[in-house]
Structure 1
Amino acid sequence: MMKIDLLPEEKSPQLMIIPMIDIIFFLLVFFMMSMLSMVVQKSVPLTLPQTASAKVSMTRNIPVTVTADGTLYYEQEPMTLAGLAERLQQDAARGEDISVILRGDEAAAYGKIVQVMDLVKNLGISKVYIATDSKG
Structure 2
Amino acid sequence: MHLPEDPDTQPEINIVPMIDVIFVVLIFFILSSLFLTRAEGLPVNLPGAATSENQLQQHTLTLTITSGGDLQLGNEAATLETLVQQVQDRRVGDRPLLLIIRADKEVPHGQVIAAMDQLRQVPDLELAIATLPEAAAAPP
What is the TM-score with the length of structure 1 in the denominator? 0.65
Query: Once the 2 structures are TM-superposed, how far is the Cα of residue 92 of structure 1 from its aligned partner?
Result: 3.7
Where do 1:112-123 residues align within 5 Å?
112-123=111-122
Residue number in structure 1 paired with 2:108:
109
What is the TM-score with the length of structure 2 in the denominator? 0.64
Mean alpha-carbon deviation: is it higher for 51-60 or for 72-81?
A: 51-60
| Uncovered stretches (5+) of structure 2, i.e. residues with no partner | 1-31, 136-140
Query: Once the 2 structures are TM-superposed, how far is the Cα of residue 76 of structure 1 from its aligned partner?
Result: 2.5
Query: Once the 2 structures are TM-superposed, how far is the Cα of residue 45 of structure 1 from its aligned partner?
Result: 0.9
Letter in 1 for 2:111: K
Residue number in structure 2 paired with 1:83:
82
1:47 equivalent to 2:45? Answer yes
Residue number in structure 2 paired with 1:71:
70
> Counterpart of 1:117 in 2: which secondary structure?
helix
Percentage identity across paired residues of the two chains: 24
Q: Deviations over 1:54-85 (max 9, x none)?
A: 23031311000111111111112221112222
- Corresponding residue pairs, total: 102
Whether contact under 8 Å (1:59, 1:97) holds in the other structure is no
> Counterpart of 1:122 in 2: which secondary structure?
coil
Letter in 1 for 2:38: V
> Counterpart of 1:100 in 2: which secondary structure?
strand
Residue number in structure 2 paired with 1:10:
none
What is the root-mean-square deviation in Å for CA atoms of aligned residues? 2.2
Whether contact under 8 Å (2:57, 2:98) holds in the other structure is no
Query: Once the 2 structures are TM-superposed, how far is the Cα of residue 93 of structure 1 from its aligned partner?
Result: 6.8
Letter in 1 for 2:93: R
> Counterpart of 2:100 in 1: which secondary structure?
strand
Whether contact under 8 Å (1:46, 1:105) holds in the other structure is yes
The verdict on how the C-alpha distance between 1:38 and 1:93 changes in structure 2, with shifts beyond 3 A counting, is closer
